[in-house]
Chains A and B, each alone.
Chain A
Amino acid sequence: MNNYDFGSNKREKIVTLVIIGFILISIIQLFNMQILQNEAYVVKANENSIKPIYQIAPRGVFYDREHKILVGNKPTFTLRITPADYDKRLNPYLEAILNVKPGYIDKILKQTQNYSRYIPRRIAKDVPYDVIAWYEENASKLPGVDYVIETQRDYSYGVMGSHMFGYTKEIPPEILQKRKNEYMMGDEIGYVGIEKSYEDLLRGEKGVKYVLVDSRQKIIGSYEDGKKDKKSIKGCDLILSIDKDAQLAAELAFKDKRGAVVALDPSTGEILAFLSSPQYDLSELAAVTSGEAWKRLNLDENRPLFNRATMSMYSPGSTFKMVSAIAALEEGIIDSNYRSFCGGGFQFGNRFFKCLHVHGSIDLESSIEKSCNTFYYQLALKIGIDRWSKYAKKLGFGKKTGVDISEESAGIVPTKEYYDKEFGKDKWPKGILVSLGIGQGELSVTPIQLAQYAALIANYGKTAKPHFLKGYVETKTGRYVETKPEYIETGISRKTFEIIRRAMFKVVNGAGTATNIRMPDIEIAGKTGTAQNPHGKDHAIFIGFAPYKNPKIAIAVVVENAGFGSVNAAPIARDIIKAYLKKEKINIEKPIYLSKLEIKEARNEN
């Protein structure tokens, strides 16, 4: 027999070694877990059975500049389903009482099927009281169904403001990944607009109640008699610079129109009115939707979700003539006495550029007052592309204004490099420059840029970054914290602005293009514009400011596919200016009555 190794000593030793080795490793691991890392495991094991129940903090309320509520909160009933205890055969009953389509509940349960079956899902928010009464009566027959009282945004204060207020959304996974320490799955987070920009102020602090649960998440009792529980802290209330009356006037004027309005306080950059039309109904988005509302909004050809006021890129048309005028005056190309001849147009190469009228011999102020194109065709060639784009940029075009909502476009101010790239070095037709002179061509601007431009002219080249937030009230301390404006200065001389302002005054109060909006008590200065639109009827534009001598409001109005700026945009601007200034006169001497909001007077720190 050659199997002499049978059960040999050597093999027995190997086996002994394996057995003792394994047991030693096990003891080391036990020692490591139970002695060395014991504390960490105890903490984790307690996290297991001690469940925090979070209470969502109400978000901060939005007030307007006079402390009228714009967006509030309201308690609502939210109906929930816990899949572990729920019987799907109840679907038809719930769907019937909630008045939703069959399959609605299944859809929501499917969307959330990756989460633990013991975590309740929100089925419907803002449930009417009779549904809750029905539930209370039949609770025993509805296992796995319950309701909670939550706060929800209340948009019933008259102002829609969809694009500036924005909305919250359940936190998307990619953001949750980045902000793991601050948020949890299922939390709402500001997603668009002011809700997004000031999320950290608005969200407040969650409250928490610790309870003991078993592995089925059944609550067995409270933990340490609630000693460690924490009450939720409401988010900070925001005082917005919006003026409710001006905003309402804007919303009323745009009820059946598309376009945008931005009104600013020229000396502070505070946004007084802000509108992109069509709007969408924020209260509809606040309820749990099965995605149908979203789908409808996304498919709407008027693109209601698109924020036209900061993102839509319009051709500025004649409102841009002041840019050429400022550039020419500042660079010493012309002075205020310079005259040009308008014979109804301008022949350049083999192309004839039209003017709307025959203005004859015309000076700078009249060229703005009457919106003469010929004057600017010629002037643009004298200025040249480099100097022209330099002043366009000085006046805030071609870059984001930095307004405190994140949805914004920079617009386009074409430069020499831009055309060199497009056509090859110096090969581009100079006719392009001629068009730019009257604000047509590759130039695009956003309504908020136009408003800032109006503010710069109104305030002799000085304003502040446009912003919504005037200040906020710290919930914990009651302290009012005011936003400091970030001032902008163009470095353009006051003399130049005086000429431009005078011309714009004449547009409304002289023999200009917008005399239709002249008012006996408020002196408005402005400029009309009609922007060519390759896709349809021209857009009507008006920029302006008032009162002329001491401007309190600068405004830009764009009405899409409406035709002439004078007829269609200027009256809207007038209405908004009126709504704001009429009241301004009354309130101007009044102290800010913070006490109404239970805000203690802010300590002046600087």
Chain B
Amino acid sequence: MKIEYRLQDKFDLTIFISVMLLMAIGLAAIYSSTVNHPTASGNFYKQLFFIIISLILFFIIYSLPQQTFKKFAIPTYLFSIFLLILVLAIGKSVYGSKSWLDFGPIGFQPSEFAKIGTILCLSYWLTYKERDINNLFDVGIALFIGFTPVILILLEPDTGTSIVFAIITIFLIFWSGITLFGLFVVLSPAVVTVASMFGTIMFIFSLIGVVIALFLFKRDLFNSIIVFVINLGASFFFDYVYKILKPHQQKRIAAFLDPMSDPLGSGYNALQAKLAIGSGGLFGKGFMQGNQTQLRFIPEQWTDFIYCVIGEEFGFVGSVIVLILFLIIFIRLLKLTSLAKDRFSILVIAGFLCLLFSHFAINIGMNLGLTPVIGLPLPFMSYGGSSLISNMILLGIVFNIYKNRKLHT
């Protein structure tokens, strides 16, 4: 018997309309910030083209049979790792980081493509049959799957994107139901590492914190020592990585720890972004009227700083509307996780939610001066094809899952 579905049952209009609205607002902002620009004036049409391509891909993915993604999870992942290695070898440098692969007139960022592979593969591994999320080996493999791209992307180097991969990996492990102790084992090395960047005293204090926590968890001595060694090792490993980092990246980390250390570098952009948004007022200066934007005080504003075009020209009202649209998408995606019928699907949706939210939070935080300047695009709005297309492919997968949620396999 064939079941009749209404459109809303097969296709989540709430998310789709929100995404389309964000794209439209993004396009307007790109138009405003580039139309009078000497070298970037074609970006509006390019972005329009990317949107059309991404929508076509979205609908293709949407209409694929439902088992496709699970089957292709591992091959997709392996292929993306191959591309990440390839880009290190033959990639094109853009702004000091080797993140672009060029094929004639078309270029793309493998790290964007790897988001799809990594989310699929992690979801696959974490939900495969009798997986025990609190087993050190199983978690170890999951961390390996997630952190291989993190390291490869760090080498490009593209700090922002590798942070996103790390967040996704840890989030998916968290979502899979790891215990508090397990989460502690996964997270504490990161905490100790960050603490070590603030100097020896903080490092020692954080280690003492780890020891106290281990004592409170009341695990046996062997487990405790292993966790402690992992903590120690992670911070020394980071120290090693820090030393091989490029100067501009070390500077960014230094600027992250002390924003005043580099007021003219990344601090300049942050300041100009705040000026643009702050001077917008309640209703903004009007489309094409923002002097920060029109006089181009923020370099490459149409990419990572697109939000401050909105802040300046559409004001508080426009900025909040964008935040609300994102909120609708996030809450709805969260809802979809409980509608999906199998764990793999749930993790894919959760992974996509995490990807969108971490991009969103880091980007908005940097635009509002809440977080340090880490170059990440705002999903659906920033100029750029790779990010848009990979987001729309993932959205296609999510919609595909939603469409097939009531089918039996």
CB within 8 Å of B: which residues of A? Answer: 1-8, 11-12, 15-16, 18-20, 22-23, 25-27, 29-31, 33-35, 37-38, 40-42, 44-46, 48-49, 212-216, 220
Collect the chain B residues with CB atoms within 8 Å of residue A30's CB: 277, 311, 316, 319-320, 323, 368
Q: Is the CB of A3 within 8 A of B177?
A: yes
Collect the chain B residues with CB atoms within 8 Å of residue A213's CB: 295
Q: Which residue of A lies closest to B175 (CB)?
A: A7
CB distance from A357 to the nearest CB of B (A): 76
Bound Cα distance from A220 to B278, whole angstroms: 24
Instruction: Give the residue of B132, B295, B323 whose beta carbon is less than 8 angstroms from that of A3.
Output: B132
Collect the chain A residues with CB atoms within 8 Å of residue B364's CB: 22, 26
Bound Cα distance from A15 to B337, whole angstroms: 12
Collect the chain A residues with CB atoms within 8 Å of residue B323's CB: 23, 26-27, 30
Q: Is the CB of A34 within 8 A of B330?
A: no
Asked whether any CB of chain A lies closer than 8 Å to the CB of B292, the reply is yes
Instruction: Give the residue of A19, A26, A38 whose beta carbon is less than 8 angstroms from that of B331.
Output: A19
Q: Is the CB of A215 within 8 A of B297?
A: yes
Per the 8 Å Cβ criterion, residues 124-141 of B in contact with A are 130-134
Collect the chain B residues with CB atoms within 8 Å of residue A215's CB: 295-299
Bound Cα distance from A55 to B198, whole angstroms: 46
Bound Cα distance from A37 to B274, whole angstroms: 11
Instruction: Give the residue of B133, B278, B319 whose beta carbon is less than 8 angstroms from that of A38.
Output: B278
Bound Cα distance from A213 to B292, whole angstroms: 11
CB distance from B344 to the nearest CB of A (A): 12
Per the 8 Å Cβ criterion, residues 301-350 of B in contact with A are 311, 315-316, 319-320, 323, 326-327, 330-331, 334, 337-338, 343, 346, 350
CB within 8 Å of A: which residues of B? Answer: 130-134, 174-179, 272, 274-282, 291-292, 295-299, 311, 315-316, 319-320, 323, 326-327, 330-331, 334, 337-338, 343, 346, 350, 353, 357, 361, 364-365, 368-370
Collect the chain A residues with CB atoms within 8 Å of residue B275's CB: 41, 44-45, 48
Collect the chain B residues with CB atoms within 8 Å of residue A26's CB: 323, 364-365, 368, 370
Bound Cα distance from A45 to B330, whole angstroms: 33
Instruction: Give the residue of B177, B278, B326 whose beta carbon is less than 8 angstroms from that of A5.
Output: B177
Bound Cα distance from A220 to B134, whole angstroms: 64
CB distance from B234 to the nearest CB of A (A): 24
Q: Which residue of B lies closest to A218 (CB)?
A: B295
Q: Which 4 pairs across A and B sit closest by C-beta, in order of nearness? A: A41-B278, A5-B177, A45-B279, A33-B278
Bound Cα distance from A48 to B338, whole angstroms: 50
Collect the chain B residues with CB atoms within 8 Å of residue A16's CB: 331, 334
Q: Is the CB of B316 within 8 A of A7?
A: no
With A3-B131, A12-B334 as known contacts, state yes or no: A45 contacts B319, CB within 8 Å. Answer: no
Contacts A/B (CB < 8 Å), 28 sampled: A3-B132, A5-B178, A7-B176, A7-B177, A7-B337, A19-B327, A19-B334, A22-B361, A22-B364, A22-B365, A23-B327, A29-B369, A31-B316, A34-B277, A34-B280, A34-B282, A35-B281, A38-B282, A45-B292, A48-B272, A48-B275, A48-B291, A48-B295, A49-B292, A49-B297, A214-B296, A215-B296, A216-B296
Q: Is the CB of A29 within 8 A of B370?
A: yes
Q: Is the CB of B279 within 8 A of A41?
A: yes
CB distance from B154 to the nearest CB of A (A): 25
Q: Is the CB of A8 within 8 A of B277?
A: no
Bound Cα distance from A3 to B315, whole angstroms: 47
Q: Which residue of A lies closest to B340 (CB)?
A: A7
Collect the chain A residues with CB atoms within 8 Å of residue B311's CB: 30, 34
Q: Is the CB of B279 within 8 A of A38?
A: yes
CB distance from A417 to the nearest CB of B (A): 51
User: Besides the contacts A26-B370, A34-B319, what 10 more A-B pairs have beta carbons closer than 8 Å?
Assistant: A2-B134, A12-B338, A18-B357, A19-B330, A30-B316, A30-B368, A34-B281, A34-B316, A46-B291, A215-B296
With A30-B368, A215-B295 as known contacts, state yes or no: A45 contacts B278, CB within 8 Å. Answer: yes
* Residue from B319, B338, B346 with most neighbouring chain A CB atoms (10 Å): B319
Collect the chain A residues with CB atoms within 8 Å of residue B276's CB: 45
Collect the chain B residues with CB atoms within 8 Å of residue A44's CB: 275, 278-279
Q: Is the CB of B134 within 8 A of A40?
A: no
**What is the interface of chain B mostly: helix, strand, loop, or mixed?**
helix
**What is the interface of chain A mostly: helix, strand, loop, or mixed?**
helix
Q: Is the CB of A3 within 8 A of B176?
A: yes
For the A-B complex, the count of residue pairs with Cβ-Cβ distances under 8 Å equals 136
Collect the chain A residues with CB atoms within 8 Å of residue B274's CB: 33, 41
Collect the chain A residues with CB atoms within 8 Å of residue B279's CB: 38, 41-42, 44-46
Q: Which residue of A lies closest to B335 (CB)?
A: A12
CB distance from A528 to the nearest CB of B (A): 64
Q: Is the CB of A25 within 8 A of B370?
A: yes
Bound Cα distance from A25 to B280, whole angstroms: 18
CB distance from A598 to the nearest CB of B (A): 45
Bound Cα distance from A48 to B330, whole angstroms: 37
CB distance from A12 to the nearest CB of B (A): 6
CB distance from B364 to the nearest CB of A (A): 5
Instruction: Give the residue of A4, A34, A214 whose beta carbon is less than 8 angstroms from that of B278.
Output: A34
Q: Is the CB of B177 within 8 A of A4?
A: yes
Bound Cα distance from A369 to B89, whole angstroms: 98
Bound Cα distance from A41 to B132, whole angstroms: 54
Collect the chain B residues with CB atoms within 8 Å of residue A12's CB: 334, 337-338
With A30-B368, A41-B275, A49-B291 as known contacts, state yes or no: A11 contacts B296, CB within 8 Å. Answer: no
Collect the chain B residues with CB atoms within 8 Å of residue A48's CB: 272, 275, 291-292, 295, 297
Bound Cα distance from A215 to B290, whole angstroms: 13
* Residue from A27, A29, A37, A45 with most neighbouring chain B CB atoms (10 Å): A45
Bound Cα distance from A35 to B282, whole angstroms: 6
Instruction: Give the residue of A3, A31, A33 whose beta carbon is less than 8 angstroms from that of B133.
Output: A3
CB distance from B30 to the nearest CB of A (A): 18
Instruction: Give the residue of A11, A33, A45 whose beta carbon is less than 8 angstroms from that of B368.
Output: A33
Q: Is the CB of B331 within 8 A of A6?
A: no
Q: Which residue of A lies closest to B316 (CB)?
A: A34
Instruction: Give the residue of B280, B295, B316, B346 whose beta carbon is less than 8 angstroms from that of A49.
Output: B295
CB distance from B133 to the nearest CB of A (A): 5
Q: Which residue of B lies closest to A116 (CB)?
A: B264
Bound Cα distance from A5 to B282, whole angstroms: 44
Q: Which residue of A lies closest to B319 (CB)?
A: A30
Bound Cα distance from A7 to B350, whole angstroms: 9
Bound Cα distance from A12 to B368, whole angstroms: 27
Bound Cα distance from A144 to B223, whole angstroms: 67
Q: Which residue of B lies closest to A29 (CB)?
A: B368
Bound Cα distance from A395 to B338, whole angstroms: 100
CB distance from B251 to the nearest CB of A (A): 16
With A34-B280, A35-B281, A38-B279 as known contacts, state yes or no: A214 contacts B327, CB within 8 Å. Answer: no
With A33-B277, A44-B275 as known contacts, state yes or no: A7 contacts B297, CB within 8 Å. Answer: no
With A22-B361, A42-B281, A45-B279 as known contacts, state yes or no: A3 contacts B337, CB within 8 Å. Answer: no
CB distance from A220 to the nearest CB of B (A): 8
Collect the chain A residues with CB atoms within 8 Å of residue B353's CB: 15
* Residue from A1, A30, A49, A216 with most neighbouring chain B CB atoms (10 Å): A30
Collect the chain A residues with CB atoms within 8 Å of residue B281's CB: 34-35, 38, 42
Q: Which residue of A lies closest to B277 (CB)?
A: A33
Bound Cα distance from A216 to B275, whole angstroms: 17
Q: Which residue of B lies closest to A20 (CB)?
A: B327
Collect the chain B residues with CB atoms within 8 Å of residue A7's CB: 175-177, 337-338, 343, 346, 350
Collect the chain A residues with CB atoms within 8 Å of residue B315's CB: 34
Instruction: Give the residue of A3, A31, A35 whose beta carbon is less than 8 angstroms from that of B134.
Output: A3
CB distance from B290 to the nearest CB of A (A): 9
Collect the chain B residues with CB atoms within 8 Å of residue A41's CB: 274-275, 277-279
Instruction: Give the residue of A11, A23, A35, A49 whose beta carbon is less than 8 angstroms from that of B175.
Output: A11
Bound Cα distance from A27 to B278, whole angstroms: 13
Collect the chain A residues with CB atoms within 8 Å of residue B330's CB: 19
CB distance from B33 to the nearest CB of A (A): 12
Bound Cα distance from A47 to B347, whole angstroms: 50
Q: Is the CB of A6 within 8 A of B177?
A: yes
CB distance from B29 to the nearest CB of A (A): 16
